[in-house]
Amino acid sequence: MTAIKAPPRPGAGIARSFVVGDASVPAAPLSAGLYVVATPIGNLGDVTLRALSILAGADLILAEDTRISRILLARYGIETPLSPYHEHNAAEARPRALQRIAEGQALALISDAGTPLVSDPGFKLVAEAAAQGLAITAAPGPSAALAALCVAGLPTNRFFFEGFLPPKREARRERINTLVAIPATLVFYEASGRLVETLADLALELGPRPAAVARELTKLHEEMRRGPLDELAAAYAAEEAPRGEIVIVVGPPLAREAIDVVALDDDILGALRTLSVRDAAAAVAARHGVPRRQVYARALALAGGRR
């Protein structure tokens, strides 16, 4: 579909600029449209010159949290007005934004950190702009998921971005179980207060896969820990809850030798002498590196339906 030809932008003759060090840099003129702009995930020096030029040259910046975004704009002397755009006001803000673009304005969309639409609002705005034939431009840059993947030391040829898992344990375990057979490195975002529980559930469902926990990437207290999921879960459980933004990277399924079904059944029967079916399945699955659901089904059969 051909993009709508917009009339001249309001204020197109106003000089716009941004500041880098002691230099004032003029912003390049922008055509009407929606600009999806990546911003730093921590270190403000990671912003691209193109991103700064777009933010300075836009008529309006749509920001997830304007208080956070003002810190970046102030650092680079950008005075473009900000307007909130988040999941709670999107239904009202989206039509207004699309109307402004249709009238010839250039709007930039940013998130609190990183690349918009990656575990952030904005999908419907981009989808509706595309449906209306409005011009959409990406200004790529920082992404916490890709930054963590690059330094985790795990396979990068194929990866699956899951984002945030459900906060409740049963739903979280069920979701993780659907990811067991994906032949790729898995990437998750997680809140610091749920890290211990999530690592434990990942170890339970996925077994002792190699993994990495990236915390506060690009910031002063950046930390990367690597090891098997069960060891990482135990290590974080023994410490105070960490602070900051967290990315968990988990390696693809481990190559396994053929499972000795007789030995597995013996192990399950032994565990059933002292444990419930659920706990026995969890313990045996972790020891053998086999998906818990598979072991649980077998344990149920061996226990005659007893739970």
Using H for helix, E for strand and C for coil, what is the string for 256-306?
CCCCCHHHHHHHHHHHHCCCCHHHHHHHHHHHHCCCHHHHHHHHHHHCCCC
Q: Is residue 10 part of a domain?
A: no
Asked whether residue 188 falls in the same domain as residue 121, the answer is no
One domain, residues 98 and 203: no
CATH number at residue 232: 3.30.950.10
Average pLDDT over residues 102-124: 94
pLDDT at 286 over 90: no
Let me know: does 154 contact 249? Beta carbons within 8 Å.
Answer: yes
Confidence of residue 275 (pLDDT cuts 50, 70, 90): confident
Regarding whether 136 and 77 lie in a shared domain, the answer is: yes
**Distance (Å, rounded) from C-alpha 100 to C-alpha 102?**
5
**Could you give the percent of the chain with pLDDT greater than 70?**
92
**Distances 248 to 186, 187, 214 between C-alpha atoms, Å:** 8, 6, 6
**Does the pLDDT of residue 109 top 90, yes or no?**
yes
307 inside domain: no
- For residue 239, pLDDT beyond 70: yes
| pTM for the whole structure | 0.81
172 or 5, greater pLDDT:
172
71-96 pLDDT tens trace: 999 999 999 999 999 999 999 999 99
To which residue do tokens 């810190």 refer? 71
Q: How far is Cα 265 from Cα 153, in angstroms, rounded to an integer?
A: 35
Same domain, yes or no: 229 and 120: no
Interacting residues of 196 by C-beta distance below 8 A, sequence separation 6+: 233, 236, 237, 241
Place 307 in a pLDDT band, splitting at 50, 70 and 90: low
| Segments forming the whole domain that contains residue 279 | 261-302
**Percentage of residues in the chain having pLDDT higher than 90:** 72
pLDDT digits (tens, 9 = 90+) for 142-198: 999 999 999 999 999 999 999 999 999 999 999 998 998 899 999 999 999 999 999
Residue 218 lies in a domain: yes
User: Is the same domain home to 40 and 136?
Assistant: yes
* pLDDT classification of 262: cutoffs 50, 70, 90: confident
Among 206, 231, 250, give the residue marking a domain's end: 250
Q: Which two tokens stand for residue 104?
A: 């010839």
Q: Are 191 and 118 within one domain?
A: no
Closest CA to 19 of 81, 80, 73: 73
Q: Judge contact between 109 and 143, C-beta under 8 A.
A: no
User: Per residue in 200-220, pLDDT tens?
Assistant: 999 988 988 999 999 999 999
Q: How many domains does the chain have?
A: 3
pLDDT band at 293 (very low <50, low <70, confident <90, very high): confident
Q: Which of 119, 142, 165 is the last residue of a domain?
A: 142
Answer with the residue of higher pLDDT: 241 or 136. 136
